[in-house]
Structure 1
């Protein structure tokens, strides 16, 4: 009987050359799977024509136009030291991304059951693919907003880059927050099919109460105490504070939404792991 350690034992040793080689191979496979899922999701969601892709831009554009029109008709002024379009864009962009990603994640697994029969495809891959596609679409919409507002309304792009380093940090934080809440949404939908309907109703008031028409800074102290329990409002306030020159809000917290996102991510991943270990009926059927 040989005293040499077996190959299987070597592969399980963390940080060994074999371990890194196996990790690298796994990441390459995962990257290819996610890229393929993104391309499939783009064709499924937007279709093969340019009209489908255009709708992803038209939807937030119409929302922006309606809000600006209502504010102007009511004689309202911008709650921030900048034009009204800047105020609304800095609210619409992060909220559209977060709401869209969480909603898409709720349908991710049920819409991809055929693909999940392949051993290389995991439920988390489908969620990540939808997140990345939603993020890429949001970035495109944001820059089209900048170009359009500059050409039509003369709003300089500098209104959106008050503190570039903080803006990048806030954007990454919003992405992480969306990852955590999206994984929780996906897992809840797998154990509670009714969650998709619950989310469709929940998302509307949350969307409105997350700083789309106001800033936490301008709210009365008593009302701000209650609004502070909404982590999405903190993310929007942080994004606005970083983007808009002259708007430096002290009413938001960085720790609270990050802790909330981490808790959502852990719960979502734990549910996902339990479903995989017990043989999720959605995946094996």
Structure 2
């Protein structure tokens, strides 16, 4: 059952004071629902101990250590003129955020069927709660990395804020791209029981082909032409170009990943609306 503005006093004139008051009331209820779902998701995902949060930090830290070790053995240095740790962190953190959110979206509704019995809770609320929780976890991981790199290997935080307005814009773009991908993943998970398993396999090659250990600009033209079809690689390149002072790539497109995110969001919303109109909040057994 979709959220509707209260109509106890009859239909309101759009954009009137009463209409805005009722809209605000609806948004307040939605905010409370999302906050409650966030609390539930945090307890479900991480439990009552700090071990779950610790793994959110340890997982990207292991990947970071492995890549640094491989580059060291091969005698390679950062291709962007920054410390090698900066190069990998600016690729690992955005990619982990996107991959984690899409994976969480795959089973967001099926794992919260009990909540959907309440008329105030909609599938969209669950998705918003999950991406907010994923964002908070990613920000925490990034801040820990900043502090750790500064005190352990003497890497200044300024390496991550080369263009502050650009960093804000790229971060907003990453959030929108991730939310669009997550919405589509959630909708596919509701109509295709196998989607969650498929994503587990698809995530691996995407992970390796999205620019964690290379940049689009350094690739040969022939390979870059194929890599240009990967919107995740464009997002990683955009983030690096905004964050690292010594790197200014011209090989990425802002329009392409934003267009992909919009298309994914529209498709996801259409599937979600069809399921609501047909009365099937969840059709996967």
- Shorter-chain TM-score bucket reads over 0.9
1:244 match:
244
Do 1:131 and 1:179's aligned partners in 2 also have CA atoms closer than 8 Å? yes
Q: Hey, what does 2:5 align to over in structure 1?
A: none
Matched-pair contact (CA < 8 Å) for 1:113–1:283: no
CA distance in 2, matches of 1:45, 1:251: 38
SS of the residue corresponding to residue 10 of structure 2 reads: helix
Range moving further from structure 2, 222-231 or 68-77: 68-77
Unaligned stretches of 5+ residues in structure 2: 1-7
Deviations 1:1-42 (A, max 9, x none): xxxxx9422x2x211112111110111011001111111111
Flag the 1:283–1:129 CA change in 2: closer, same or farther, 3 A.
farther
Shift of 1:281: 5.5
State which drifts further: 126-135 or 51-60. Answer: 51-60
Aligned-pair distance for 1:56?
Answer: 1.0
- How high is the TM-score relative to the length of structure 2? 0.95
Q: For residues 246-261 of structure 1, what are the structure 2 equivalents within 5 Å? A: 246-261=246-261
Deviation of 1:283 after TM superposition, in Å, equals 7.3
Distance of 1:278 and 1:265 partners within structure 2: 20
**Cα distance in structure 2, aligned partners of 1:270 and 1:22:** 26
Alignment of 1:50-199 (within 5 A): 50-199=50-199
After TM superposition, what 4+ stretches of structure 1 lie above 2 angstroms from structure 2? 281-285
CA contact (8 A) 2:275 2:282 kept: no
1:8 equivalenced with 2:6 (yes/no): no
Partner of 1:224: 224
Contact 1:117–1:284 under 8 Å retained in 2: no
Q: Tell me, yes or no, if structure 1 residue 29 matches structure 2 residue 29.
A: yes
CA distance in 2, matches of 1:152, 1:122: 45
SS at match of 1:20: helix
Query: CA separation in 1, counterparts of 2:44 and 2:65?
Result: 28
**In structure 2, how many angstroms separate the alpha carbons of the residues matched to 1:62 and 1:26?**
44
- 5+ residue gaps, structure 1: 1-5
CA distance in 2, matches of 1:214, 1:232: 13
Structure-2 change in CA distance of 1:211 and 1:48 (3 Å): same
Q: Distance between the aligned counterparts of 2:29 and 2:64, measured in 1?
A: 40
- What value does the CA root-mean-square deviation take over the aligned residues? 1.4
Aligned to 1:3: none
Deviation per residue, 1:206-236 (Å, 9 max, x gap): 1110101100010001110110000000000
Give 3-state SS (helix, strand or coil) of 1:216's partner.
coil
Paired residue total = 278
Q: SS at the partner of 2:282?
A: helix
